Amino acid sequence: MHELLQDFSVVVPCQVDWGHMDAFQHVNNIIYFRYFENARVEYGIRIGITDDLETRGIGPILAHTECKYIKPLFFPDTALTGVRTVALQGSEMKMEYKIVSLNRHEVVAVGTSLGVFYHYREQRRLDFPRKLIDRMETLEGRSLAVV
Note the pLDDT of residue 88: 94
pLDDT-based confidence at 110, cuts 50/70/90? very high
3-140 maps to which CATH number? 3.10.129.10
Closest CA to 33 of 77, 55, 11, 65: 65
3-state secondary structure of 108: strand
Residue 28 has pLDDT above 90, yes or no: yes
**pTM reported for the whole predicted model:** 0.94
Residue 147 has pLDDT above 60, yes or no: no
Note the pLDDT of residue 114: 98
